[in-house]
Amino acid sequence: MATRLQFENNCEVGAYSKLTNAYCLVAIGGSENFFSAFEGELADVIPVVKTSIGGNRIVGRLCVGNKNGLLLPHTATDRELQHLRNSLPDQVVVQRIEERLCALGNCITCNDHVALTHSDLDRETEEMIADVLGVEVFSQTVAGNAIVGSYCVFSNTGGLVHPHTSIEGLDELSTLLQVPLVAGTVNRGSEVIASGMTVNDWTAFCGSDTTATELSVIESVFKLREAQPIAIVNEMRKSLIDTYV
Amino acid sequence: MRSQLVKSKARRPKRRRQGLKSWPITFSPFARALALARMPKRHSQNPTSSVNIPRHSHSSDDESFDGVIQADFSFFDPKPQDFHGAKTLLQTYLDDHEWDLSSFVDLILDQTTVGTVVKIEGDEDEGIFALVTALNFHRYREHRCFFTLKEFLLRKARQDKAVADRLRLLLEEQSRVVGLLVSQRMLNLPPQLLPHLYAALFDEVSWATEDEPTEELRNSFKFKHYIILSKIYVQKSAQQKRKPSNDNDEAIIYVKAEDEIFHKLRNYRPTGLVMAVEVDKIATFRQELASLISET
C-alpha cells in the first residue's frame, strides 16, 4: 500500500527517509507526524530509526542500503555510525566509505540483488558496494543523467524511472535489473523520482502532492496491492526460474 | 489576457543577479525554480559573509557581470502549470507551521480573474519570479487551508486582546469585504516592477467588480480591507538581527520594502506580522510606492 505524507510541509519524502526491506531510516523533524507515519506502517515488521548523517537531515540522499548492508558517506560522524550499528539488525553491515561523491543516495540506487551506480565512482567504492550490499554493480545512466540514484527507484518487484527515459533505455535497464520498469513522475509532475518517494517490497511512501494517477502507477509497478512482508518470497526467489518479462 | 511587458536594466554594473546569468544545472523546471529561489536569498541575506569569500572568486564573479543585463519580465494570469513555482514562493508563508499549502496554491491558481504571476518572457522553464493575488475570506471560508490560516492569524494576535478582537471581527463578521493580499517574490527582483505589479492587482480587483459573471462574485471583490502577512525584523535592545552596515536608527526592517508603506497606512497596530489596510488608502499607497521606487 502506498501512503502519502509530508515532511514539514515539504513533499520530498525520499530525501528525508531511507526505506529497505530490513530497516527504515527517518530524519529528525520538527513535528512527530513524519516519524509516526512510518512507525504506524512498519513498526511491527522492521525497525524505524531516527538519525542524521553528518548533521544533515537529508538521510535518504546521503546513504544507500538494502537488507544486507548500509553505506554511509565519509561525512557521517562516529556517533551516528555507532547509533546506526546499535539500532539496526545484526545482519545489516553498516559501513562508512571514503568516496569523493558523498551523496551516495544520489549516485547509487539498489535493491537486494542489483545496484546501479554513477559512472564517476571509484573502483574501491564499487567493490565495497558489491561486498557490503551483496549486489551486482552496473555503471549506468538514466535518461542521459549520471546521477542514477535521483532518477531511478526500484525494489525487488518493480521500478520507476525518469519520465523522459526512452524505450531503448527502459529495455536496457529492465534487462539489467530483471524487474519491470515504468517511466513516470511523482509529486505532481516532479521528475526527481527518488527524492519524491521511497519504497520497499511491500509498501511505499510518496509526497502528498502525488496525484491519484501517479499513485496508481506506483502501486501497480511495485506490485503493492497484493504485497505482504513475508520472508518466504525472498527465500523462494533464489530457487525460482526467471519468471519476469 | 491582460499582460504587460516591463523591461528592466541595471544602470550600474552592480552584482545583481537580474537575468539568466548562471542557471543552476538542474533537470526539472521545479528544481530550477527551487534553486533560483535559493540563489537570490543567499545574496540578500548574508552580505557580510561575502566579505569572507576569497578575493579571487569574488573578482571572477564580477568579471562575468561586466555591464548591463537585459531581462524581460512579463505579467501573466495564474495557470495550473505554475503550481510548483508558486508553492516554492509560498513555502514560508505561515512560518514553519504545517498546513495544506498545496490546496492554498490551487485556490490562487484557480482564481484567474484577479492575480498576477511574473515570469521571464519566452522562458521555457516557466519559473515564477513573483506572485500577487487577493483572496476574499468569505468566498473561501469553507476551505481547510483558510481555516488554518485564520487560526494562525488569531493565534499570533493573541498577545494583544484589543487587536485580537478587531482581527476576529474582520475575519469572521466582516469577512465578505475582507481580502487576503498575497504578495511573494524573489527577494532580488528589480523594484521597478513593483508599482506595475501592484497596479495590475488593484486594477484587476476593480475590473472584477464589473466583469465577473455572477452577482455574488462581483460583490466578493468589493473589498473594504486587505489583510497582509509580512515578515519583518524587529530590533531587540541588545541584539541586532541584520547586518551591521545598516543605519542603526531603524527599529523595524521590512523584508519587502512596500510593507513599510502599508504599515504607515494601516488601520491599526500590526501584530508584528499581520496588517489590515483600508482600501481607500490604496491610492495613497500607489503614489508613495512610486516615489519610493524612483528614489532607490
The answer to whether B140 touches B106, Cβ cutoff 8 Å, is no
User: How many residues comprise chain B?
Assistant: 296
> What confidence score (pLDDT) does residue B267 get?
46
> DSSP code of A61?
H
Provide the grid cell at A24: 527504515
Alpha carbon of A236: minimum distance to chain B alpha carbons (Å) = 40
Weakest mean pLDDT among A135-139, A167-171, B118-122, B156-160: B156-160
Q: pTM of the predicted model, to two decimals?
A: 0.73
- The span from the CA of B261 to the CA of B275, in Å, is 11
Letter for the amino acid at B93?
A: Y
Task: Report the distance separating Cα B250 and Cα B57, nearest Å.
Answer: 33
Of B112, B114, B113, B87, give the one whose Cα is nearest residue B101. Answer: B87
Query: In angstroms, rounded to a whole number, what is the distance separating the alpha carbons of residues B91 and B182?
Result: 13
The CA distance from A150 to A194, in Å, is 5
Instruction: Using CA coordinates, name the residue in chain A closest to B27.
Output: A191
More confident residue, B274 or A165: A165
DSSP letters spanning A189-208: TBS-HHHHEEE-SS-EEEET
Whole-number pLDDT of residue B265: 59
Sole residue written with cell 502532492: A209
- Tell me what the mean pLDDT of segment A110-132 comes to: 94
Determine whether A148 is exposed, middle or buried from the number of CB atoms within 10 Å of its CB (0-12, 13-18, 19+). Answer: buried
For B74, the grid coordinates are 512579463
- As a whole-number percent, the residues of chain A with pLDDT over 70 amount to 92
User: What's the confidence (pLDDT) of residue A244?
Assistant: 59
Report the pLDDT value the prediction gives residue B287, as an integer from 0 to 100: 65
pLDDT band, very low/low/confident/very high, at A26 (cuts 50, 70, 90):
very high
Query: Which burial class, exposed, middle or buried, applies to B267 when counting CB atoms under 10 A from its CB (0-12, 13-18, 19+)?
Result: middle
Size of interface A-B (CB pairs under 8 A): 33
Cell matching residue B232:
519583518
Interface test with B, best of A4, A7, A9, A193 (most B CBs within 10 A): A9
Q: Do the chains contact at B101 and A9, CB–CB below 8 Å? A: yes
Distance of CA B41 to the CA centre of its chain: 14
Inspect the interface and report whether the beta carbons of B96 and A9 lie closer than 8 Å.
yes
- The ipTM of this complex is 0.73
Q: Is residue B226 within a helix (H) or strand (E), and if so which, with residue range?
A: strand B225-229
Report the amino acid identity of residue A238. Answer: K
Place of cell 513599510: B260
Angle between helices B193-211 and B282-295 (to 10 degrees): 160
Neighbours of B131 (CB within 10 A): 24
The answer to whether B90 touches B131, Cβ cutoff 8 Å, is yes
Using an 8 Å Cβ cutoff, are B150 and B171 in contact? Answer: yes
Q: Are A91 and A99 in contact (CB under 8 A)?
A: no
Query: Chain A: residue nearest B93 by CA?
Result: A9
CB-CB under 8 Å, A33 with B27: no
SS (H, E, C) B114-174: CCEEEEECCCCCCCEEEEEEEEECCCCCCCHHHHHHHHHHHHHHHHCHHHHHHHHHHHHHC
Nearest to B205 by CA among B111, B114, B129: B114
The burial of A180, by beta-carbon neighbours within 10 Å (0-12 exposed, 13-18 middle, 19 or more buried), is given as middle
B98/A contact by beta carbon, under 8 A: yes
Strand arrangement of the beta sheet that strand A159-161 belongs to: A152-154, A159-161, A181-183
Cβ distance B84 to A190 less than 8 Å, yes or no, reads: yes
Interface check for A110 against chain B (CB to CB < 8 A): the answer is no
Residues forming a β-bridge with A190: A186
Looking at residue A241, its pLDDT comes to 56
Q: Who wins on pLDDT, A239 or B74?
A: B74
Give the pLDDT confidence of A214-226 residue by residue, as tens digits: 999 999 999 998 7
Cell of B137: 475570506
Does the beta carbon of A171 lie under 8 angstroms from any beta carbon of chain B? Answer: no
pLDDT in tens, A45-94: 999 999 999 999 999 999 999 999 999 999 999 999 999 999 999 999 99
Distance CA A20, CA A34 (A): 17
Q: How many C-alpha atoms does B104 have within 13 Å on its Cβ side?
A: 26
Q: Please give chain B's pLDDT, 296 residues, in tens.
A: 444 444 444 344 434 444 444 444 556 666 666 666 665 443 333 333 222 333 333 334 444 556 777 778 888 888 888 888 899 888 888 877 788 889 999 999 998 888 999 988 766 666 888 999 988 888 888 888 888 888 888 877 777 777 778 778 877 777 778 888 888 888 888 888 888 888 888 888 888 888 878 888 887 888 877 888 877 776 665 444 433 333 344 456 666 666 666 666 554 434 444 555 665 566 666 666 666 666 55
- Block residue for cell numbers 509497478: A221
Cα radius of gyration (chain B): 20
**Which helix (H) or strand (E) element contains residue A36?**
helix A33-42
Residues of A in contact with B102 (CB under 8 A): 11, 208-209
- What CA–CA distances, in Å, run from A137 to A69, A134, B266? 14, 9, 64
d(C-alpha A74, C-alpha A186), whole Å = 30
Q: Residue B45: its pLDDT value, please?
A: 36
Which of chain B's residues have a Cβ under 8 Å away from the Cβ of A192? Answer: 27-28, 31
Contact B102/A209, CB-based, under 8 Å?
A: yes
Q: What's the pLDDT score for residue B31? A: 63
Identify whether the C-beta of residue B258 lies closer than 8 Å to the C-beta of residue B228: no
Q: Cβ(A9)–Cβ(B101) under 8 Å?
A: yes
pLDDT(A167) > 80: yes
